[in-house]
């Protein structure tokens, strides 16, 4: 049954009294490795806040690495006569790995996927900026999904 992820509310079957607080500390001990590129940097910044909640870095117990980050774009609606895309969907696919510090074999691997769409038109500069925003939105979703997977592991050990 459901129980709070954090806090030290203990239920008979739930984590022990201090475990809730322990999850927050464990989250803070995850170091996120540098990711190349603008979108990678955005994902990393979001992840670091979601893990540390603004606190400073703690001694590293786990290392999270984004092994592969693929960005692809597709246009569903295109004006047939001119070939101008009227909508464009940016999708990100991040393959991530969580490895205990000092060891090489990961404890969890996973794939996070997110997509975000923007309206496009003849003003190409507006398209470029809208694509940048769509990348950022997808990056936030990627960070949320990776955090959720980490949270599941840190709480349940699986």
Partner 1 sequence: ANVDNGSLVPPKPDSMKHHGPSSAVGPGVKDEGKKRDPNARMLMEAKQLVYDYDKEIVTAVDGVDIYYDGRALQADRVSYDQKANRVHAYGHVKMTERNGDIVYGDEMDVTDDFRDGFISPLQVETTERTRFAAAKGRRENGEVMVFDRGVYTACEPCRNNPEKPPLWQIKSKRIIWRQDEKTIYYENATFELYGHPIAWLPFFSSPDPSVKRKSGVLGPNLVKSSDVGYGVEVPYFWVLSPTSDLTLAPLFTQKQGVMLKGEYRQQLIDGAYSIRAAGIHQLDSDRFNDKVPAGRTDAGLTIGPGDKDDRWAVSTKGQFDINEKWSWGWDINAVSDKWVRGDYDLWGPRDVATSTLYLTGQGDRSYFELRGYSFYGMTRYDRQDRLPWVAPVLDYNYTLEDPVAGGQLSFDINATNIYRSESDYAHDRTRLQPRPDNALIGAAGTYSRISGDIDWKRRFIDPIGQVWTPFAFARGDLIYTKPDYDSSMPAFLDHEQDVVLRGMAGVGVEYRYPFIARTENATHQIEPIAQLILRPNESSVGKLPNEDAQSLMYDDTTLFSWNKFSGYDRIEGGSRANVGAQYTVTTDSGASASAIVGQSFALFGKNSFRELDPTQIGPDSGLESARSDYVGGVTLVPNENFSVSGHLRLDENSFALRMAEVEGRATFERFQANLVYGRYEKAPLQGYDYVREGVLAGARVFLTKEFYVEGGARYNFERDTFDRTQIGFGLNDIMQCLSFNFTYIRQIDNSADSVSLSQVDNKFLVKLDFRTLGSVGLSTSSKSNVDPDMFGSTTN
Binders of partner 1 among residues 20 to 79 (CB under 8 A) are 20, 24, 34, 36-39, 41-42, 45, 48-49, 52-57, 70-79
Q: Which of 11, 60, 86, 103 binds partner 1 (CB under 8 A)?
A: 86
Position 109 contacts partner 1 (CB under 8 A): yes
Position 19 contacts partner 1 (CB under 8 A): no
Binding mask 130-149 for partner 1 (x = CB under 8 A): xx-xx--xx-xx--xx--xx
User: Cβ closer to partner 1: 61 or 144?
Assistant: 144
* Residue 52, SS3 per DSSP: helix
What is the 3-class SS of 87-149, one letter each residue?
EEEEEEEEEEEEEECCCCCCCEEEEEEEEEEEECCCCHHHHHHHHHHHHHHHHHHHHHHHHHH
């Amino acid at each position: 049954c459901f129980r709070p992820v954090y806090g030290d509310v203990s239920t008979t079957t739930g984590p022990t009294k201090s475990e809730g607080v322990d999850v927050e500390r464990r989250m803070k001990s995850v170091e996120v490795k540098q990711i190349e590129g603008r979108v990678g940097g955005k994902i990393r910044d979001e992840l670091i806040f979601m893990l540390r909640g603004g606190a400073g870095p703690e001694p590293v117990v786990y290392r999270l690495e984004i092994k592969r980050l693929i960005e692809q774009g597709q246009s569903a609606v295109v004006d047939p006569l001119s070939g101008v895309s009227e909508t464009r969907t940016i999708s990100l696919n991040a393959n991530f790995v969580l490895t205990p510090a000092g060891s090489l074999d990961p404890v969890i691997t996973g794939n996070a996927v997110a997509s975000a769409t923007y309206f496009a038109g003849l003003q190409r500069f507006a398209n470029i900026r809208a694509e940048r925003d769509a990348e950022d939105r997808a990056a936030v979703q990627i960070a949320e999904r990776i955090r959720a997977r980490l949270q599941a592991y840190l709480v349940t050990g699986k």
